[in-house]
Structure 1
C-alpha cells in the first residue's frame, strides 16, 4: 500500500483508513476527475472506478485507489474515461436524489466494503 492513494468523498473511508494516504474531495464528480488527473500524471488504477453493482450516479460515494507508475497507463486512462462517461450519462438521465442519512450511511458502507476488498488483493 506504500505510495498508493485513495481518492474518496466517503467520510467512512477517510475515518477507517487514517493510516493511509487519503485525498478527500467534496463530491462524486471530484473523485472521478481527481483520479483522471492523477492517471494523466502517470498514476494507475488499483481499484476499478465502477466496482460493485450500484450505478455511478446512484451511489453518492466512491473511493478509488491509485498507485504511481513510471509511464502513462493506457488501460487506466481508458477505464477512468469510460467511468466518467458513464457517470455523466447516468447523471443526465436521472434526476439528482436527496437521500436520508440512513440511506447515505448504507451507501457509505457499500463503498467502504468495496475498498476493503480491493485493499486485500
Structure 2
C-alpha cells in the first residue's frame, strides 16, 4: 500500500508509510494516479471520496497498491474522476482560500484518509 497526496498534513502524519507527495493541484494528483495505474498499480480508495466538491478543495489523497498488470476498474474510476473534477473546475474554479481555510481542507482530507487507511489495513 502507498499514499499519493498533495496534502502536507497527510505527508506528515503518515511518514511511517510509503508516501508519494506532489506539489500539484487536485486534478494533478488524479493525473499522477492515472500514470501509476497505467504502470500496473491499483487504487484502494475512491478518487472522489468525501462530500467536498472537486472545485472547493485543492487537496486530494488516494491510497493505492502496487501491481503488475492494468486494472481496468482503476482506469475507469480515475478517468471518470478526472472528467468530473475538470467539469467542476470549468463551471467554477477553486477559490483563492485564506490560509486558515486551506488548513481546514487539509484536516478534512487527513481525517478521511486516517479512517480509510485504518479500514484498509484491517481488511488486509
Counterpart among 71, 74, 79 of residue 72 in structure 2: 74
Match of 2:114 in 1: 116
Query: Which TM-score applies when normalising by structure 1?
Result: 0.93
| Partner SS for 2:51 | coil
Match of 1:8 in 2: 5
**TM superposition shift of 1:70:** 3.1
**TM superposition shift of 1:46:** 0.7
**TM superposition shift of 1:26:** 1.3
| Partner SS for 1:60 | coil
Q: How far apart are the structure 2 equivalents of 1:17 and 1:96? A: 26
Match of 2:35 in 1: 37
Query: Which TM-score applies when normalising by structure 2?
Result: 0.91
**TM superposition shift of 1:92:** 0.6
Structure 1 unaligned regions, length at least 5? none
Match of 1:105 in 2: 103
Deviations 1:34-88 (A, max 9, x none): 1000011111001111000111121110100110123211111100110000111
Say what the alpha-carbon RMSD is for the aligned residues.
1.0
